[in-house]
Amino acid sequence: MRQLMGTKIGMARVFTEDGMQIPVTVVQAGPCPVVKIKTHESDGYDAVVLGYGATRNSLVSKPVTGQFAKAGIGPTRYLRELRLDAPPELKVGDVWTVEDFAAGNLVTVTGTSKGKGFQGAIKRHGFHGAQKTHGQSDRWRAPGSIGQSSYPARVFKGMKMAGHMGNEKVTVRNVRIVDIDAEKNLLLLGGAVPGARNGLVIIKG
């Protein structure tokens, strides 16, 4: 399994040879250097730690700066760990790029959804809303009854109500890679992927 971190650039479209258009999401993916390798003997499990996005030394803590110095790699903004089923055939300093993927591959994309703040039940959960006739004047977007009266006389946990919406980890599976631009480190993913522009996304495949 390969994993890349990237930045969501935005959406575009590409055309096939027969004139069909395909909506795609453009992701600036990698390069992701291998910062550390964990093995079952030293850490109790097998994993590889990847970095992405160059940053200044002043923005990295001293312990993490020591890890980068030991690996001989410049500091990166993001560090993510990828667990493996077997010891990786890698060494510190190796770099994963978009060339590790191919057009037509199915990948899993993880991102952080857009934060919507505090929203009502209609927008947050898709409630239908109350009727607008028969004297109804101010309850069109109200959630309605949320519990019972005498028994059990409480509101069950998990009741769909108004509250914070978005800004959550979202994973989309079976996203097809439409095209790859290795020179510019670009992945063109079919359809939409979670997150806002310039947000961090993780591609696994």
Q: What pLDDT, on the 0 to 100 scale, is given for residue 93?
A: 83
- One digit per residue, the tens of pLDDT, for the chain of length 205 reads 788 999 999 999 999 888 889 999 999 997 999 988 888 888 888 889 899 988 888 888 888 888 888 888 888 999 988 888 877 778 888 888 888 888 889 999 999 999 999 999 999 999 988 888 888 888 889 988 888 888 888 999 999 999 999 999 999 999 999 999 889 999 999 999 999 999 999 999 8
DSSP state letters, the chain? --EEEEEEEEEEEEE-TTS-EEEEEEEEE--EEEEEEE-HHHHSSEEEEEEEEE--GGGS-HHHHHHHHHHT---EEEEEEEEESS--S--TT-EE-GGGS-TT-EEEEEEEPPP-EEE-HHHHH------S-TT--S-TT-----S-SSSS-SPPTT---SEEE---EEEEEEEEEEEEETTTTEEEEES--SS-TT-EEEEE-
Q: What are the residues facing 115 on neighbouring strands?
A: none
The reply to whether domains 1-30+97-123+150-205 and 31-95 share a CATH topology is no
Q: Domain ranges for the chain, please list them.
A: 1-30+97-123+150-205, 31-95
Q: What pLDDT, on the 0 to 100 scale, is given for residue 55?
A: 87
The CA distance from 62 to 13, in Å, is 44
1-30+97-123+150-205 domain in CATH 2.40.30.10? Answer: yes
The CA distance from 59 to 66, in Å, is 13
Q: What pLDDT, on the 0 to 100 scale, is given for residue 11?
A: 93
Q: What pLDDT, on the 0 to 100 scale, is given for residue 157?
A: 92
CATH number of the domain located at residue range(s) 31-95 in this protein: 3.30.160.810
Q: What pLDDT, on the 0 to 100 scale, is given for residue 138?
A: 84
